Amino acid sequence: MDIGIIGAGIAGLSAAIALRRIGHNVTIFEKSCFKNEIGAAITLTPNANRILERWNFDFEKARPVDFMQYRYLHSETLEVCGREDLSGVQERYGSRMCAYHRVDLHEGLRVLAEGEWGVGIRLGCAAVGVDADKGEVEFINGEKVKKDMWIMADGCHTPFLPQILKESIPTTHIGKSVYRWLSPLSLIRTNPQCAQIWDPSLPSGFVTFFNPRTAIMMVTYPCRNSTLLNCALFHTTRPEESNAEGWHSNSTHDHVLRELDGASAAVKHLVLQAEQIKVYKVTQRRPSTKCYGGNVLCIGDTVHYMLPSHAQGGAMAVEDAGALEILFDPKTYTHSPAALSKRLSTFEKLRLPRTATTQIMSSLNPNLTMEGLERQVGDIRRFYAGELVDWPRGCGPWSEAIREFW
């Protein structure tokens, strides 16, 4: 098949690799020009890393950090209030659980797509319209392109779902925002207490600071060969953040420190080592009941956008690509419009129960939102009839029970 993909993020690049591996012609259309790649860290769990291993992804160049534990520390006293052992994850699930700098993961996928598999990437091509029935996408320069199959991987802010799926599901703000930043671990360790918390001899992994009194929650974890610490502080959206759009709005150190009033000096030290602070509003969307229309398939955050509580956003995108590689293998698939429609229906039946259930479970977190619980129960039962782990609160996001569930 001649396949077009809208978006060269993690989902789009992964889909391109998967489809080229089974012989299809693939072109990616990306609205940006890749001039200034930015981003924070991203965690991929074994369900995604297994697929990357099969693709011979270059983990060494991507420099991820393997996670061996999850620690919960009180933000004022630094007392360790809980710990989850992750050292057996790779043996149990067949692959690693690790964190990447998003730029490094993206670059690794891009090198694999372009370098090894010859995927064409057209930059500066912003899609402005989609006709799913005609299999045609219009771009900002007026060009209209037809393909045997289109894959929409343009992310959670896509404007095209109503045109493709014939349903309109709004993205809503939950009243929370996230300050995020990266700090060099070499500078962080200049604080004696931080040096103890991030002692290189200790198993690497998550450190979450929380305070029941103030409802503070700050998640941290290392990336890029443990040279950088990714930090995310969840907080109630402030008036000056109400107009923040996208992932890269600027904020200030003072704004973060204001939220950390009463926290240990070691916790505040993490903020002071950052060059810049970004802020984004936390939003969520109810699951779509479909993932394709005509010859256009939606994958990744485009169709199953989820909160980061269980680190499954990127993982589900890679899983989507893995499913494409199986379902559209020419050994079992001969292209025709009728065959495509049937196979897309199979993709939807296989993937929607898993992605929608993951999306809903990720959307409920006592530290973020429990809004619309009754509706969420109804939503999840449209897709999944099995047992839910400690519903609706869920266990700790990395507990053994929840790992087994995913």
Tell me, what CATH number does 388's domain have?
3.50.50.60
Q: Are residues 397 and 249 in the same domain?
A: no
**All residues at 6 or more sequence positions from 25 whose CB lies less than 8 Å from its CB, including other chains:** 1, 2, 3
**All residues at 6 or more sequence positions from 319 whose CB lies less than 8 Å from its CB, including other chains:** 47, 48, 51, 351, 354, 355
Q: Are residues 314 and 210 in the same domain?
A: no
Q: Are residues 133 and 179 in the same domain?
A: no
Can you name the residues that pair with 120 across neighbouring β-strands?
27
Domain stops at, among 250, 284, 318: 284
Q: C-alpha dihedral over 203, 178, 52, 291, to 10 degrees? A: 150
Residue 373 lies in a domain: yes
Residue 323 lies in a domain: yes
Q: Are residues 147 and 163 in the same domain?
A: yes
Evaluate whether 238 touches 197 at the Cβ level (below 8 Å): no
Q: Answer left, alpha or beta for residue 142, where phi above 0 means left and psi between -120 and 50 means alpha.
A: left
Q: Which domain holds residue 234?
A: 172-284
Domain stops at, among 256, 284, 312: 284
Residue 220: give its domain's CATH number. 3.30.9.30
Residue 128 lies in a domain: yes
Q: Are residues 178 and 161 in the same domain?
A: no
Residue 69 lies in a domain: no
Q: What is the pTM of this model?
A: 0.94
Residue-by-residue pLDDT tens, the chain, 406 positions: 999 999 999 999 999 999 999 999 999 999 988 755 566 899 999 999 999 999 999 999 999 999 999 999 999 999 999 899 999 999 999 999 999 999 999 999 999 999 999 999 999 999 999 999 999 999 999 999 999 999 999 998 899 999 999 998 888 887 889 999 999 999 999 999 999 999 999 999 999 999 888 877 899 999 999 999 999 999 888 888 877 776 778 899 999 999 999 999 999 999 999 999 999 888 888 889 999 999 999 999 999 988 777 889 999 999 999 999 999 999 999 999 999 999 999 999 999 999 998 888 877 665 555 566 677 777 878 888 887 776 666 556 667 877 887 7
The three-state secondary structure class of 386 is coil
User: N- to C-terminal Cα distance for the chain?
Assistant: 32
Q: How many domains does the chain have?
A: 2
pLDDT for residue 370: 55
Q: Are residues 307 and 379 in the same domain?
A: yes
Residue 114 lies in a domain: no
Q: Are residues 231 and 243 in the same domain?
A: yes
Residue 309 lies in a domain: yes
Q: Are residues 263 and 298 in the same domain?
A: no
Residue 238, judged by CB atoms within 10 A of its CB (0-12, 13-18, 19+), counts as middle
**All residues at 6 or more sequence positions from 171 whose CB lies less than 8 Å from its CB, including other chains:** 156, 157, 283, 284, 285, 305
Q: Are residues 27 and 163 in the same domain?
A: yes
For the beta sheet containing 144-146, the strands, ordered from the edge strand earlier in sequence to the opposite edge, are 127-131, 136-139, 144-146
Domain stops at, among 284, 315, 331: 284
Distance CA 71, CA 220 (A): 10
Q: Are residues 292 and 348 in the same domain?
A: yes
Residue 356 lies in a domain: yes
Residue 101 lies in a domain: no
Distance CA 312, CA 394 (A): 15
Enclosing H/E stretch for 182: strand 171-184
Q: How far is CA 307 from CA 180, 310, 315, in A?
A: 15, 8, 13
Evaluate whether 281 touches 177 at the Cβ level (below 8 Å): yes
Q: Are residues 277 and 192 in the same domain?
A: yes
Q: Are residues 393 and 331 in the same domain?
A: yes
